[in-house]
Amino acid sequence: MIRTIGRTILGVVVLTLIFGIAYPVVMTGIAQVAFSDTANGSLIRVNGTTVGSKLAAQGFTGAGYFHERPSATVPAYNAMGTTFSNLGPTSDALRTQVRDQIAAVMKAEGPYNPGLRVGDIPVDAVTTSGSGIDPDISPAYARLQARRVAAVRHLSLSTVEQLISRYTDGRFIGLFGEPGVNVLELNLALDRIGH
Amino acid sequence: MTANGIAQILLYAVILTALAYPLGIYMARVYEGTISFVNGPLARVERLFLRLVGSDPEHEQNWKGYAGSVLLFTIVFTVLLYLLLRSQGHLPLNPDNLPGVSAPIALNTTASFVSNTNWQYYGGEYTMSYLSQMAGLAVQNFVSAAAGMAVLAAVIRGFARRNTSEIGNFWRDLYRSLVYILLPLSVVLALVLVWQGVPQTFSGHAVAHTVQGVTQQIARGPVASQVAIKQLGTNGGGWYNSNSAVPFENPNGFTNLLECVAILLIPMAQVFMFGRMIGRMRQAWALWGAMFVLMAAGVAIAYPAEQHGSAVLRDSGVNIAAGSQQSGGNMQDKEVRFGIADTALWATVTTDASNGSVNGGHDAFTPLGGSVPLANIFFGEVIWGGVGSGLYGMFFYVLITVFIAGLMVGRTPEYLGKKIEAREIKIAAVGALFVPTMVLVLTGISVVTHAGLASMYNSGAHGFSEALYAYTSQSNNNGSAFAGYGGLPFAANLGSVALYLGRFVPLLAGLAVGGSLAAKKTHPESAGTFRTDGATFAILLVAIIVLTAGLMVFPALTLGPIVEGLS
C-alpha cells in the first residue's frame, strides 16, 4: 500500500511537471515568438507610451470622446478585477441602475440630439457589461454619441460616422458574433485628426 | 430573435457534430489500441510511464481495482493541491505578490478542481499566483478531465465485453486521454486563441497611462493555455473572474464560436466513440438524438427569453429591439460582441456539458432564461454532460428506461444483448437519483440556517434561486453560478461536501455497472428484443429523464424562478 501511494505521488509529480509547467511554458514560448502583440495583451502605444489595450475599456468621460458601457467593477473599468453586476432581473438595484444611466445618457446626449427620447437609447448604454471592461459599444450607441463628439470637436457628422464604421468589428465570416465599435481605437483615431 | 441569431445557432450545431464524429472514431481507436501510432515507438513511452507509476502494462483491472486507482489518484492530488494553494505566498511565480489562499477557499477550490467542476469562490486574477493557476489548477483541468474520460472508457468496455471481470487499466486510459486526446487539441486551440488576442505571457500585469491620464493596470498571464483546456475538458474555471465574458479570454465572434464548440466537442465525440466501441453506431445515434433534443429545447427557451428582455428593461422604455445596429434584449451582464444569441447559446451548452464557463452573467438572466441553465444542470449533466461523466451518467437513465420499457411490454429488460437485472437497476437508480436528492437537501439546509441566508446576494425569490443554483452546480460538478452567492466559511464548506459526493458517487456507480455488465454473457437479439437504436427509444429516454429529474427540480423551481417570473 505504501509503495502504491509512493508511486501515485510520483505519477502526480510527473503529470504536474508536464501539464502544469512544460505545457504553459512551451505555449508561451511559441506565442511570444509567433504572436507577440496579442500574447502580451494587445497593448496600444502612442509615441512610445502604452495608452491601453484594444481589449479593455478604460473609462472615457470627456465630452469629446465616445463613452463605454457602464461597468460593475470597483473602481469602474478595473482590468485587474473583472466582475458581473449579478443584479437579478427583478431587483430594485437593477431598476435604480437603469434609471440613473438613462438620466446620465439624456444629460450627456440630450443637448446635442434635440428631441431625444428614452426610446432612442440603446439597451447597451444603460446595462453593465459582463466583464466590466467591454471594449465595444453597439453601433446604435455609437451613432447616438456621434453628434456630441462631432459638435465638441467641430467635425462634420459624416466624418465621425465614417470613423465609427471604420472601427466597427463585424461578425466573423459575416455570421458569428455581433458588430461592436471599439471605443479606444475610435477615440484614438479622433485624437489623431486633432481638435 | 433574428435570422442571423438562428443561423448562428444552427450552423454551430452542424459544425460541432461534423467535428465530433471523426474525433469519436479516433478516440475509440486510441482506447482500443487499434490505431497504429499507439503501438509504434510511442508505446515505449507509455510503458515507461506505466512502470513509473507502478502499473503493470500487461495487466488490466476489475472494476474495484480501477475504482481504487481513481480514488487514490484523486486523494493524492487533493492533498498536494491544498498545500500548494495555502503556501503560494512563499513559492515562486507570484509576480503580483499574492498571499496564501484562506483555508475555506483552498478547501473548496481543491474539491472543485479535482472533481472537474471549477466552481470558483475566488476571483482568479487577484487570488491565485501564476504557480497556483498553472501547476495547481490548470493541471487539474487536464487530469480531472482525463480521469472522467478514462472511467467512461472502462464503463463502455463493460458493455462491449462479456464473461470477464476486467474493464481496463486506469493508468493507461488516463495516459491516453491526456497525451493522445486532450493535449493535442489544447495545443491547437491555445495557439489559435493567442493569435486572436488571448494573452500568453509570464510578465506580470501591464500598466497603461490612459488617454484621459489615469493609470490602468491590466491583468495578464499564461491565459490561452488555460482557457483552451478549461473549455475542452469541461472544466470551466477562467483565468479572470468574469470568465469568458472577459475580452482577454474571448476576444471576438470567432473565438466565441471555437470555445463554444470546444465545450461540447469531446462529450459529443464520446457518444460516437461509444457506438464505435460496441460496434453499433445506430445505438449511438439514438443517444445523440435524445441529447440533441434536450439541448435544442434549452436554446429554444433561453434565446427568446433573453431577447424579450427583463421587466425592468422593458418598463424603463429604452430601446431593446433587435436590429442591425444592436442585438437588443437583456444586455445586463452581457458583452456587445456576443449579444443575445451567442450568450443564450453558451449558457445552454455550458450547462448541458458540466463545463460551467460563462460568456455573460447568469445571475442577471431573465427568470425564464436563467431557469434553463439551472434545469440543465439539475438533469444531472447528462445532456452531453462532462467529459466521461456525462455519458456514464446517461447510462443510468438508459438502464432505467430499458427497465421501465421492459415492465411495460412484460419482458426481461436487455441492453446491447445484456440482461439488465436487479443489481444493475439498483446501482443505476443510485447513480441517477443520489445527486438531485443531495441538491434538495443541501439547498434546504442553506435556506433554514442564518449562515446560509447570509450567503445570498439578492433577496427574496431570486436569492432562493441563487442558493438552489449554487448547490445544483456544485453537486453536479458544473461550476457556473448565479455568481452573487457566496459566504465564508459556511457556503464554501457545504459546497465542498457537494463537490466530492457529486463527483464520486456517480463515478463509482458507473464503474460498478460496467463491472457487473462485463461479467455477463451476451444474448443474441431476437424478434422480441426491445429495440434501443431507434426514435422510439430516444423519445422514451427523453421522457424518463424529464420525468425523473424534471419532477424533482420542478417544486424547487416554483419557489425560485417561477415566483420571480410571475411577480
Cα separation, B313 vs A94, whole angstroms? 9
Does B565 map to a domain? no
Q: Check pLDDT > 80 for residue B226.
A: yes
* β-pair type (B166-168, B206-209): unpaired
Instruction: Name the residue among B214, B216, B242 with its Cβ closest to that of A131.
Output: B242
Domains identified in chain B, total number: 1
Least confident of A152-161, B207-216, B381-390, B556-565: B556-565
Shortest distance between the Cα of A90 and any Cα of chain B, in A, equals 6
Which pLDDT score, from 0 to 100, does residue A123 have?
98
Please give the pLDDT value at position B524: 86
Confidence class of residue B253 from pLDDT cuts 50, 70 and 90? very high
Confidence class of residue B227 from pLDDT cuts 50, 70 and 90? very high
- Range name among A110-124, B60-74, B371-385 with the lowest pLDDT average: B371-385
Asked whether residue A195 carries a pLDDT value surpassing 70, the answer given is no
Whether B222 has a pLDDT exceeding 80, the answer reads: yes
Cα B442 to chain center, whole Å?
20
Q: What is the pLDDT of residue A80?
A: 93
Q: Which residues of B touch A135 (CB under 8 A)?
A: 247
Interface of A with B in 53-72 (CB under 8 A): 53-56, 58-62, 65, 69, 72
Per-residue pLDDT tens over the stretch B397-424: 999 999 999 888 888 899 999 999 999 9
CB contact under 8 A, A188 and B211: yes
Write the Ramachandran bin of B385: left for phi over 0, alpha for psi from -120 to 50, otherwise beta: left
Q: Which three cell numbers stand for residue B114?
A: 479535482
Please report the residues numbered 248 through 267 in chain B whose beta carbons come closer than 8 angstroms to any beta carbon of chain A: 248, 251-254, 256-257
Residue found under cell 444493475: B424
CB proximity list for A82: less than 8 A, separation 6 or greater: A73, A131, A132, A133, B123, B125, B219, B240, B241, B242, B245, B246
* Grid coordinates belonging to A21: 509547467
pLDDT band at A94 (very low <50, low <70, confident <90, very high): very high
Q: Searching chain B, which residue's CA lies closest to the CA of residue A174?
A: B4
Asked, for residue B47, whether it belongs to a domain, the answer is yes
Which of B342, B439, B431 lies closest to B393 in space, CA to CA?
B431
Rounded mean pLDDT, B478-487: 79
Q: What is the pLDDT of residue B388?
A: 93
Task: Look up residue A173 and give its three cell numbers.
Answer: 465570416
Q: For residue B331, give its domain range.
A: 3-559
Lowest mean pLDDT segment, chosen from A190-194, B6-10, B147-151, B511-515: A190-194
pLDDT at A169: 95
- In tens, the pLDDT along A158-175 reads 999 999 999 999 999 999
Q: How confident is the model at residue B494 (pLDDT cuts 50, 70, 90)?
A: very high
Q: What is the mean pLDDT of residues B434-454?
A: 91
pLDDT digits (tens, 9 = 90+) for A32-82: 999 999 999 999 999 999 999 999 999 999 999 999 999 999 999 999 999
- B76 at the A interface (CB within 8 A)? yes
Report the mean per-residue pLDDT for chain B: 93
* Beta strand ranges found along A25-156 (DSSP E): 43-46, 49-53, 136-137
| Ranges A44-53, B182-191, B377-386, B421-430: which has the least confidence | B377-386
Domain ranges of chain A: 1-40, 42-193
Q: Does B14 touch chain A (CB under 8 A)?
A: no
pLDDT over 80 (residue A194): no
Average pLDDT over every residue of A14-40: 96
Q: Which of B7, B226, B338 sits opposite A175 (nearest CB)?
A: B7
Is the pLDDT at B504 greater than 90, yes or no?
yes
Alpha-carbon dihedral angle through residues B53, B58, B64, B65, given to the nearest 10 degrees: -20
pTM: 0.95
* Bridge partners of residue A49, in order along the sequence: A46
Q: Which of B136, B245, B152, B225 is nearest to B480 (CA)?
A: B245
